[in-house]
């Protein structure tokens, strides 16, 4: 199995998750683990980029790929995608907002070393940006508005996210509840 670090690229606010995943997990299953660990809702399309080739959901992402260059993510394991841990994998969620993530293998973990269920989230930092906030630039603006209580959009933004948002908040137990929910 692998210990991997998933990092949201481009954001000044650090948002990352450390996961334990089976080496043989297919990218289609890894997508749902990533969504759960990060805190995304899986309500938008996604792609994996591996060595210059794109992999996506055979039912949606591939059909929406007019160039036909997208391969079926269900046919590639994470181990093969990373060339046994030697290669970083890119993961893009919501191509409209273009949330880019880097997935890199930190180490190979023997089965006996892992405590608890796998896949699992073992560490992380930063709150998941709200869905549909407008990508990294929109998220930076959103955080700026929240840090300025007199801004005309401050109250509207707070209401939009349910009344409160702490960009530094990461709840490991909640991340693992979400991961277990998508893998059981």
Q: Note the pLDDT tens digit of each residue in 110-129.
A: 877 777 789 999 999 999 99
Which percentage of the chain shows pLDDT scores above 70? 95
Task: Record the tokens describing residue 72, joined without a space.
Answer: 């079926």
CB contact at 8 A, 6 and 102: yes
- Domains of the chain listed by start with CATH number: 2-128+167-183 (3.10.290.30)
Task: Record the tokens describing residue 76, joined without a space.
Answer: 């590639």
Q: What is the pTM of this model?
A: 0.92
**pLDDT tens by residue, 132-151:** 999 999 999 999 999 999 99
CB contact at 8 A, 90 and 48: yes
Q: Which residues of the chain have pLDDT under 50?
A: 62-63
Identify the burial level of 109 via C-beta atoms within 10 angstroms of its C-beta, where 0-12 means exposed, 13-18 middle and 19 or more buried: middle
């Amino acid at each position: 199995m692998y210990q991997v670090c998933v990092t949201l690229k481009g954001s000044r606010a650090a948002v990352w998750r450390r996961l334990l995943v089976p080496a043989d997990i297919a990218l289609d299953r890894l997508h749902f683990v990533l969504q759960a660990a990060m805190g995304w809702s899986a309500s938008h399309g996604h792609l994996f980029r591996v060595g210059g080739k794109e992999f996506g959901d055979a039912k949606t992402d591939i059909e929406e790929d007019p160039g036909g260059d997208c391969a079926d993510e269900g046919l590639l394991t994470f181990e093969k995608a990373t060339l046994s841990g030697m290669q970083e994998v890119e993961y893009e969620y919501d191509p409209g907002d273009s949330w880019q993530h880097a997935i890199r293998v930190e180490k190979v973990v023997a089965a006996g070393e892992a405590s608890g269920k796998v896949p699992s989230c073992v560490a992380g930092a930063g709150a998941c940006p709200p869905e549909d906030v407008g990508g990294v630039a929109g998220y930076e603006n959103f955080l700026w508005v929240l840090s300025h209580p007199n801004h005309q959009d401050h109250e509207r933004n707070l209401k939009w996210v349910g009344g409160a948002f702490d960009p530094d908040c990461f709840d490991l137990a909640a991340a693992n509840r979400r991961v277990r929910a998508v893998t059981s």
